[in-house]
Amino acid sequence: MSMTKIPLLCIFFLLHICIYSGESRPPFACDPRNGMTKNLPFCQVSLHIRDRVKDLIGRLTLQEKIRSLVNNAAPVERLGIRGYEWWSEALHGVSDTGPGVKFGGQFPGATSFPQVILTAASFNASLWEEIGKVVSDEARAMYNGGVAGLTYWSPNVNIFRDPRWGRGQETPGEDPALASRYATSYVRGLQGTGPGNRLKVAACCKHYTAYDLDIWNGVDRFHFDARVSKQDLEDTYNVPFKACVMEGRVASVMCSYNEVNGKPTCADPSLLRGTIRGQWHLNGYIVSDCDSVEVLFKHQRYTDTPEDAVAASIKAGLDLDCGPYLAIYTNAAVRSGKLTEADVNAALSNLLMVQMRLGMFDGSRQPYGYLGPRDVCTPAHQQLALEAARQGIVLLQNRGRSLPLSTRRHRIVAVIGPNSDVTVTMRGNYAGVACGYTTPVQGIARYVKTIHQEGCFGVACNNNRQFGKAEGAARQADATILVMGLDQSIEAEARDRVGLLLPGHQQELVSRVAKASRGPVVLVIMSGGPIDVTFAKNDPKIGAIMWVGYPGQAGGTAIADVLFGTTNPGGKLPNTWYPQNYLSKVPMTRMDMRADPARGYPGRTYRFYKGPVVFPFGYGLSYTSFRPTLAHAPTTISIPLTTLKTFKNTTMLSHGVRVTHTKCDSLISSIHIDVENIGDMDGTHTLMIFATLPVGKHAPEKQLVAFEKVHIVAKSQKRVRIDIDACKHLSMADNNGIRRIPLGEHSLHIGDDIKHSISFITSMEEVKV
């Protein structure tokens, strides 16, 4: 990587403002060399951002304002403002999926972390935030070099509701609590948590809301009307977005293509103005998924004219269009009275506020301006990518302690399968150009001698002509590793899966090679979504099964480290692995989370589905054993009521206490748990606490309320404190979408054996009259 010019530290330490001395971009606006603009109020950093925005808007013509409402915003040359591309992506590393990022020259690549679904399996919030910090360092460095933007439309926090969804790989999984904590952690890492209202980069939580179908059985995302109950919207689909805005303080939310209950999300004032801004108080902008405004007119026929589509979207609360529609039709919408210039000003104000918080109107005094090419693909960043992959890998089966392998006993290892020597497959989708790759066979070859056979060409595995060579390799080896699974040809954006089995002849390859092998057989699954590998669980020749997601640029090293015991696996599944026959009972178009036994509908995710599974949510093995013991937890929690009306209405209380009718800040309780590593190997343990709420017709079977990752040396123990927020974690939504804390006995489940009860009561003395 070229570093012909070394970044210099400069004097603005208190503001964290430095200037990168390399071939950086000229100032976006307010260039101190421009005598015409440098003294204008919108360029004065001493003024409040709100006043600077107001001044700038007052200087713009209507057409200049309108051309700023699209992702490729036009320059305003007379005011010294350059054009800007809002669309950049950073799902798991800086990506060139959007037009805002260009690799090449001094920036040939960026650190490629594991796909989100695998990183989520680490259940490590501090890791997620650290990844966000690294990604934003590299994003800022590339911005300073003139090849990236500062607005990144990541993360994807949709709930992975259906195992067929091609984009489930981009998400943190099926659980709202897990998705929420991932979202807030990653957003904080990206945006920074320094003083004031400034932003390192601007993150974006997408796709709001109830979006988890791309194309299934002739129905695509552009024509899909997601029929969602108020209850499911409140306690499942909207939960991560609410956390993004209220806890993560995200700077942007993206509305989705689909309709929700008959209205396109990008034109629904209840979802946008009412919820995101009104209830959650978004400090930032709302952007459409690309061409959504056009979609709601052309495909969904929601409006009669393009001007109506533009007017409906902006009035609903949309600020930025990823696409040209607002640039083309807003002027006519204003002239015809469907919009006012004040509506345009309000949208533009939200955009300019974010740009000013990013420092884009601060001239050459750029925050993080010291970052440059040497801060991308650093050894530390690449080590973090490796560590993320190690922490996410899930050991699903280890019959007879087949793993870890021994370099002494397993000196020759056969490495077989269509994913055994892949590079870009390990990135998943929405990825950039990686710093470099270590494939699975390369990683294993660092430990032992390998015999490599793909067995079939590509994951489609359309024929078995090469199986004989694979069987031959297995017969010669001391152990056999089969690296199978999926890639973006099977699951991706605009490509939902049709089944849960391994594609093509992969299952046959696994079974034949396992039968031929003279040593232990390990099945390694590379995929985003779950796969029904019941056949492998039942095959006595297959000793171990590992799921490695899409493990990123260092995936091969991480896989090998787990196989040979350099790393003790500690990942847990972030979604349920269903059997193939589950699909016949659940149309992708049915959004109900809760089961409907009368109609043969089994429900969705571990929270509401009680049927058979291949592997359950939260499952994952280790090379050691952990034993949790409850040290301290409350047995009774009294809920203070804030209205006398609620206390007197026994019917209302029988359904639980509204979280808006109590003091949530006083309902955070600490639970102390001792976790002992009773095995012979150091390891990390994910301590999960689930809750079963008092019996109710629509209550989840159980729900994750908290988790914590802890590293414990062999034969030692640590005490872990976990705080539980009753309003957030021990509540549920009623049929009207009102969140309540049920009264009565709540059961907490810690590990497989510990059950603790907490009684929730109310007291008249706590009511304010």
Q: Helix, strand or coil for residue 637?
A: strand
CA–CA dist 53, 538 (Å, integer): 65
Residue 341 burial (CB count, 10 A): 12
Kind plus residue range of the DSSP H or E element containing 563? helix 555-563
**What SS3 state is found at 434?**
coil
DSSP string, 619-649: --B-SS-EEEEEEE--SEEEE-BS-HHHHH-
- Residues 625 and 513: their CA atoms lie apart, in Å, by 31
Q: Give the integer Cα–Cα distance in Å for 534 and 489.
A: 23
Catalytic residue flag (residue 96): no
- Helix 176-191 to helix 125-144 angle (10° resolution) is 40
Residue 565, by phi and psi: left (phi above 0), alpha (psi -120 to 50) or beta?
left
Q: Map residue 333 onto helix, strand or coil.
A: helix
Structure tokens at 555: 């995936």
> Which 3 state secondary structure label does DSSP give 595?
coil
Q: For residue 670, count other CB atoms closer than 10 A to its CB.
A: 11
CA distances to 102, 226, 276, 284, 654 from 244, rounded to whole Å, are 28, 22, 10, 12, 31
Residues 6+ apart with CB under 8 A from 648: none
3-state secondary structure of 287: strand
Helices marked H in 363-500 — which ranges?
Answer: 379-392, 440-445, 467-476
Q: Which residue has the tokens 């990587």?
A: 1
> Positive or negative, the Cα torsion across 153, 158, 160, 166?
negative
First to last CA, the chain: 69
The candidate with the shortest Cα–Cα distance to 443, out of 620, 571, 564, is 564
Among residues 162, 175, 268, 289, the one annotated as catalytic is 289
Q: Which residues are part of the catalytic machinery?
A: 289
